[in-house]
Amino acid sequence: MASEYLANAEQFVALNSPILFDASIPCTRGNIFHTDGTGIFILRGNTNNCFARYQVTFNANIAIPTGGAVTAIAVAISENGETRPTSTAIYTPTVVETEGNVTSTAIITVPKGCCFNIAIRYVDATVEDATVTPTPVIEVQNANLVINRIA
């Protein structure tokens, strides 16, 4: 069963902070818990098997706001507060206020009886170049998060 969470209004997200989602078509089976207006989602390992598996897909428009420095910006799926490097979606605008669309997908495996927290966070896309300082805030608009229990 898939659940969809939305954040259509423009929001400003600080570095290492989660994107907030305010509208949802929630899971009705108790496998996913989210409070509208927050950025944390709880995935439950409700299963008779060894683990429950979820496919998490994120899509949004991101940009550097007016006053920010033009540099690469990125969002990533985090699991229990730890960024999943393979889920990082990077966009490099040529000027501020230019939106780019990013998408990321990850498979999250939750052990039986456990709960994992996930979020979509603005992360530093400049870590490989110590001479570049990431912009402290990005704009996010039309964010869409789909969580699908696949096993």
Q: From first to last of the 151 residues of the chain, give the pLDDT tens digit.
A: 688 899 999 999 999 999 999 988 877 788 999 999 999 999 999 999 999 999 999 999 999 999 998 999 999 999 999 999 999 999 999 999 999 999 999 999 999 999 999 999 999 998 777 788 899 999 999 999 999 999 8
Strand 51-63 versus strand 100-111 pairing type: antiparallel
Q: What is the pLDDT of residue 1?
A: 65
> What pLDDT shows up at residue 32?
93
Pairing of β 2-7 and β 41-44: unpaired
User: What is the rounded CA–CA span in Å between residue 127 and residue 12?
Assistant: 21
Check residue 27 and give its pLDDT. Answer: 72
